[in-house]
Amino acid sequence: MKRIKVALIAHDKKKLDLAMFVKEWKAVFSKCDLYATSTTGKVIEEKIGLSVNKFQSGPYGGDLQIGAMIVNNKIDFVIFLRDPLTAQPHEPDVSALLRVCDVHNVPLATNLATAEALVLEIEKKIVKENVDEERE
């Protein structure tokens, strides 16, 4: 079974929100390959206990590393909880990541409401793959 690859990114003021979200949906995320920027990945590993492939921190190029994976068809979904009220020093990198998702038609959630919609879709795909495997 091909595992779904999900990138998880959160600005500093949103990391706890993302960790709580991942904890709520742990049963789904545990069936996915997870990728994250450095600090976000560490928070998820420590608080939730899931294994995460970690890149550099966002301001040090982590957003761009995830963007490169998107360009190479190695990420299926992106959950990026942004802090819209705080200026980010690496805003051009953030914009580039969002643009790459649009160009390559990769589903992207930037808040908890859309993140839940994406996870429901991921869950549906996992269930469908399991049913398809049972039929074979």
Point out the residues that are catalytic. 63
Length of the chain in residues, anyone?
136
Please provide the distance, in angstroms rounded to a whole number, between the alpha carbons at the two ends of the chain.
12
Pair type for strands 32-36 and 53-54:
parallel
Closest CA to 29 of 71, 93, 85, 76: 76
